[in-house]
Amino acid sequence: MLFPDDFGLPMESRLRILLLGLVTAAVLSPAASPAAKKASPDAIASQNSPQKGESKETQAREPAGPMDVFADIERGWKAGEVDPILRHFGNQKVAISIQGTGPSGGTFSRNQSYYLLKDLFRYTLTRKFEFVQYRKPSEDGNETFAVAERHYQKSDDGQLIKDKVYVSLHLEGDGKSERWVVDEIKSIR
């Protein structure tokens, strides 16, 4: 029994105290906090990339070639989702220069890129994003690029802007386990 009868409190007061206790516990609980529900960009990105010790079946889900990576980036961009793009970032910083975002350009870590792309999708509405030109991998087979047509609206004034987005990839790995990763993303008018 929560409250013994010898406290002399009416049932209504006991229920109010109980309700207040439950609400306080829910608010103070770390699981209920919005900050606890947010995952770091590295945690988000690593959810979809193969880790040491994963089975070959798990690793087989990772896109095999550059066309798969471009398709994944296209899907993510159209949906305004950072994760499908970020999962293809490697160990190196990525050169990013996209109109519609805060910084004019630079090289960014995975964490910085997460917030940069998140802001891009928050402050612009993508109307079209489609890769229209692909370059075959270089002679050594280590790099390639594609160009997408992008139509987007700025959220502040509703202006429709058309540009092209250049995305280059390179092979990253030690020869045994290689994967295609994003090297550069830039918009071109």
In a domain, 3, yes or no: no
Q: Model's pTM, two decimal places?
A: 0.65
Is residue 1 a part of any domain in this protein?
A: no
Q: Are residues 119 and 27 in the same domain?
A: no
pLDDT digits (tens, 9 = 90+) for 35-93: 433 444 444 344 444 444 443 433 444 546 999 999 999 999 999 999 999 999 999 99
Mean pLDDT of 160-189: 91
* Domain co-membership, 96 together with 162: yes
- Residue 53 lies inside a defined structural domain of this protein: yes
Which residues of the chain form beta strands (DSSP E)? 94-97, 106-108, 124-134, 143-154, 160-173, 178-188
Residue 2 lies in a domain: no
The verdict on residue 111 lying in a domain is: yes
54 shares its domain with 141:
yes
Q: Is 14 helix (H, G, I), strand (E, B) or coil?
A: helix
**In this structure, is residue 13 part of a structural domain?**
yes
Q: Are residues 32 and 45 in the same domain?
A: no
The answer to whether residues 145 and 71 touch, using CB atoms and an 8 Å cutoff, is: no
Mean pLDDT of the chain: 76
- For residues 179 and 164, membership in a common domain is answered with yes
pLDDT at 124 over 60: yes
59 plus 137 within the same structural domain: yes
CATH code for the domain of 61 = 3.10.450.50
Q: Provide the residue range defining the domain that includes 15.
A: 8-37
Q: How many domains does the chain have?
A: 2
Residue 58 sits in the same domain as residue 92: yes
Do 31 and 63 lie in a common domain? no
Span 5-42, pLDDT tens digits: 545 556 565 555 554 454 444 444 444 444 433 444 44
pLDDT digit string, tens, across residues 133-160: 999 888 888 999 999 999 999 888 888 9
- Looking at residue 80, what is its pLDDT? 95
Query: Residues 26, 89: one domain?
Result: no
The answer to whether the beta carbons of residues 105 and 133 sit under 8 Å apart is no
| Beta bridge partners of residue 163, listed in sequence order | 150
Residue 152 within any structural domain of the chain:
yes
